[in-house]
Amino acid sequence: MHLGNTRTSYGTVTKTFHWTIALMIASMFVLGWIATTLAEWIEAPDIATTDATITLAKVLFSIHKTMGVTIFALAILRIAWAISQPKPGLLNGDKWLESRLAETVHWLLYGSLVLVPLSGWVDHAATTGYAPIWWPLGQGLPFVPKDPGVAEIAGALHVILQWVLLVAITLHVAGAAKHHLIDRDATLRRMLPGKQTALPTAQQPGHALPVVAALAIWGAALGLGAWAGWLTPEARADTEALAEVVSGWRVEDGALNITIIQNGSEVTGSFDDWTADITYDETPDASGVNGAVTVTVSIPSLTLGTVTAQAMGADYFAAEQWPTATFQANLVTSGAGLIADGTLGIRDQTVPVQIPVELSINGDTANAAGQLTVNRLDYGIGTSTQDEGSLAFDVQIDWSLTATRAAGE
């Protein structure tokens, strides 16, 4: 058996590429469907899920993504090999419509084998956290930012392009079955193990029309997706903004982030809407108190990678029932420096906390930052997930701000 192609037969390398990729794609569709179904169950507020379900979904997504990257690499090698080899001609090249349809489907297959895994890879690279690709080369991609909007668009492209791939595979399989069962020619047998030659027809379709047809099909699919709104990033549901506060120090800029450990990977999110009521004097009073702070946080303003919707659910923040969290503390000077000594209230739980504060004041401008680690179970968050391998108990909170002194402060 020859490794390379001839004008009348396919070689071992081409056949190996063909059947390896075919089996992997079939597995990918099954894995993707099961993993997506599990993810929908996990995110559904009225369905109880276990640690085992979450772990299984993560493993299936990781397998799916890893196989996707593998298919992408194999597709590039397959295309490079095809370019270097003679292509056996069609056995029905003299049938104008049928032969051009077959060539169009081949172009759709080649393109989809690159575009479908690539769009999924971009979606993964733009998303923070969840199921990793099982390889040592990192989870990101050059020029792909960690951006929810980019992830949404890439995810939509992945879905649209996979439907094009599924239709192309269906037509490809149907065409092979027709050749084998109705035409009784060697089209299918040429791709099976063993050497099988067949004399192509003298007339063969050109590439121009099938390429244009394939591009038109992709364009139509993307156009339908855009018309359906799939390619427009989903706007965050409108929530009532927190009321502005009048404070001795006015916050001009700042960030409030949390980091969780899910399935061994860090997932960092941020709250877009929060207020701080701050009083502070560089000279402490007799009890060592410099001032006080009250921070109110809008829970629905949190963005937390792929698990944002899940975090809002009843077993986690329960954002509909408890839409705000509150931190209240005195700012106290101690031997260790400035401490925010107070309580943090999330859901229906309020827990004493102390946060070391890094503070620098230049004139009427102050820069401050701090970090706190809390146990999510202390606040009744994720109580159904007791396995730290799925979701660690510790949650890190990081904050920083720049504030200006109000007149008379």
Cα–Cα dist 102/51, whole Å: 47
The reported pLDDT for the residue numbered 309 is 79
> What confidence score (pLDDT) does residue 409 get?
55
Which parts of the chain register pLDDT below 50? none
Which single residue is written with the structure tokens 């009843």?
Answer: 314
The helix, strand and coil proportions of the chain, stated in percent and rounded to the nearest 5, come to 40, 25, 35
19/11 Cα distance (integer angstroms): 13
Contact, 62 vs 133, CB < 8 A? yes
Contact (CB, 8 A) for 232 and 372: no
Closest CA relative to residue 346, chosen from 302, 381, 385, 294: 381
How many residues are there in the chain? Answer: 409
CA distances from 60 to 66, 121, 375 (A): 10, 15, 28
* Contact (CB, 8 A) for 309 and 41: no
pLDDT value for 237: 57
Question: What digits encode the pLDDT tens for the residues 134-192?
Answer: 998 888 899 999 888 898 899 999 999 999 999 999 999 999 999 999 999 999 999 99
Residue 183: per-residue pLDDT: 93
Reading the block at residue 289, the tokens are 């108190």
| Domains recognised in the chain with CATH numbers | 12-227 (1.20.950), 249-405 (2.40.128.110)
Task: Supply the pLDDT for residue 283.
Answer: 87
- pLDDT at residue number 133: 93
Per-residue model confidence (pLDDT) at position 166: 97
**DSSP element (H, E) containing 85:** none
Half-sphere exposure of 59 (CA within 13 A, CB side): 8
Beta bridge partners, 330, equal 292, 341
- How many whole angstroms separate alpha carbon 344 and alpha carbon 360? 24
C-alpha to C-alpha distance for 89 and 168, rounded to whole angstroms: 20
Q: Which has the closest alpha carbon to 188: 102, 288, 75?
A: 102
Cross-strand bridge partners of residue 295: 276, 327
